[in-house]
Structure 1
Amino acid sequence: MDNISIRRFGPEDRDWLVREHRDHYARAEGFDEGFGVLVAGIIDDYLADHDPECEAGWIACQGDKRLGSIFCVKLDNETAKLRLFLLTEDARGQGLGKQLLSTCMGFAKSCGFKSMTLWTHESHRAAGALYAKTGWSLISSKPVKSFGQDLVEQHWQITL
């Protein structure tokens, strides 16, 4: 993909990001409306009360077209949490996910975090492969019923 930029997330990206997450996971995995509500809550909490010194979100763009997102939020003084990592369907498989992940992890490290963690589902196989390839470790996995589906919840971690 040509002319890709990664810029900071802003309030004007909120509705697009909620819609993109909600619609993608409803279509791809049959998630119910609870997933969109969760994403909206995460973003609204971030907009209302994030610490710009150690928390940030990014949007990948090609011109005016948004292609993906990733967020770094503080879990505790030593641990950052990766959130809202998403690529649109047409942006996948071209290395943009790796760029976003690198941006997020580099930011976390520069803020002094010692490690990062994330929560996802086993069905997100491409993301899991990227995490494993970039040094993340799967630390737990368990069956759950979430968003109207039987899923396997995963927690990953990396030392920065």
Structure 2
Amino acid sequence: MGLYPLSLLYSATEKPLGLQGDLSLNCAMNDVQLTPYTRSDHAWLVAQHQKLYQQSDGFDDSFGPLVGQILTDFESNADPSSEAG
């Protein structure tokens, strides 16, 4: 079973898991519930990317707005029928 960074996962109660302590902290996949992306995830996802990449790689404050624009473009152009696995 793979391990994934907590910053990318939701808990079984569907509450976002933030970065807690060491960025290398991991969680087993059976401890999470993956859900499809919705527009309501936008702000949380931007904030988590901004925080993670600032702490781990020193990205500046321009990174969050870039992620936000990418998500906005995705939301505007996504075709759910092409996303089915």
TM-score by length of 1: 0.33
Distance 1:41 1:12 in 2: 15
Aligned to 2:71: 43
CA deviation vs aligned residue, 1:33-55 (integer Å, no higher than 9, x gap): 22111100011111122111224
Moved >3 Å (runs of 4+): none
Note if 1:6 corresponds to 2:34. Answer: yes
Note if 1:27 corresponds to 2:55. Answer: yes
Tell me the matched-pair count.
Answer: 57
TM-score by length of 2: 0.58
| Alignment-mate amino acid for residue 35 of structure 1 | F
How much is the aligned-residue C-alpha RMSD, in angstroms?
Answer: 1.7
* Larger mean Cα displacement after TM superposition, 12-21 or 32-41: 32-41
Query: Could you say which structure has the greater relative contact order, defined with CA pairs below 8 angstroms and 6 or more residues apart?
Result: 2
Structure 2 gap segments, 5+ residues each: 1-27
Structure 1 gap segments, 5+ residues each: 57-106, 108-160
| Alignment-mate amino acid for residue 44 of structure 1 | T
Query: How many percent identity over aligned positions?
Result: 33
| Structure (1 or 2) with the larger CA radius of gyration | 1
